[in-house]
Structure 1
Amino acid sequence: MARWRSKSGNVAQDSGRDESSADRTVPQAGRHRPDGDPLRRGLARAAGVAATVVAVAATVVTVVLALHIAFVVFSANPANPIVRTVNDRAEGLAWEFRDMFTPKDERVAVLVNYGIAAVVYLIAGRVGAGLIRRIR
């Protein structure tokens, strides 16, 4: 009777019967059987990567808009290169939301309009990423 030790540390014994080698194989820990064909697995992996890219892009846009709001509300120095760069990017990203509401105070206008744009980007990015992840 042959004895062997599997990777998990369990000792297995051969019963002495003449069985095929596939029946006597002890499954190794950490290994899994591939399920589905490679094309389906590749599509699922690509969908996961695409969903992550969409979610990260939406988050980055939201952060840029939130920084712009903070810079305007707290009167950041407009001559600062960081402030200038963020404000320039935010102007392009807010597209139709820039003048949705026109209150008298500029700070309130930026807070409301750019805030709505940030929320829309965040929700659209999360919904889009969720839909892409469902591709399997």
Structure 2
Amino acid sequence: MTENPDRPPDRAATGGHTTTRTEPGGEHRAPRTRRSLTAARRRTADVLATVISVITTVAVLILAVHIVFVAFEANTANGIVSWFSDRATDLSWQFKDIFQPADPKLEVAVNYGLAALVYLLIGRLLTNLTRRLG
């Protein structure tokens, strides 16, 4: 009796144990449950990595827009400018006053730019690590 590689092995013929199957090319395949768990873990890791990437990218964009608004002296009474300023101040943690050059525009560009760089690096590191663990 020849085995059909598309059909799981008969449990009675294997003593009630599930074994790995051999593909037509001679490669061994893991049982379906192990493969499906690995695939589910990989999909979960990919989704988590995407969420991390999106969050850190949004943080970097908010900081960058704030830097542009300050550099071009945007109207601080404007609601959009104010919103970006408030979010950027929240996102900049302790970076907002690391360097204190005489020019206020340069101060914002350097300090908020440093915060954006940290978000970018940490985001990429976590994204790659998450995908690797998946």
Fold in common (TM above 0.5): yes
Displacement, 1:37?
2.6
Output aligned runs, 1:57-72, within 5 Å: 57-72=55-70
Displacement, 1:64?
0.1
Displacement, 1:20?
5.7
Name structure 1 gaps, 5 residues minimum: 1-18, 24-33
Q: 2: CA distance between counterparts of 1:20 and 1:80?
A: 77
After superposition, the C-alpha distances for 1:87-124 in whole angstroms (9 at most, x for unaligned) are 00000000110000011111000000000110110111
Q: 2: CA distance between counterparts of 1:21 and 1:50?
A: 40
Radius of gyration: which is bigger?
1
Output aligned runs, 1:33-52, within 5 Å: 36-52=34-50
Name structure 2 gaps, 5 residues minimum: 6-31
Displacement, 1:55?
0.7
Q: 1: CA distance between counterparts of 2:88 and 2:62?
A: 6
Residue 111 of structure 1 corresponds to which residue in structure 2? 109
SS in 2 for 1:134: helix
Displacement, 1:35?
9.0
Output aligned runs, 1:1-136, within 5 Å: 22=4, 36-136=34-134
TM-score w.r.t. length of structure 1? 0.74
TM-score w.r.t. length of structure 2? 0.75
1:130–1:35: structure 2 CA closer, same or farther, 3 Å change rule?
A: farther
- Percent of counterpart pairs with the same letter? 44
AA paired with 1:51?
Answer: A
Residue 8 of structure 1 corresponds to which residue in structure 2? none
Q: 1: CA distance between counterparts of 2:102 and 2:115?
A: 19
AA paired with 2:44?
Answer: A
Q: 1: CA distance between counterparts of 2:65 and 2:33?
A: 45
> Across the two proteins, how many residue pairs are aligned to each other?
112
Q: 1: CA distance between counterparts of 2:76 and 2:104?
A: 15
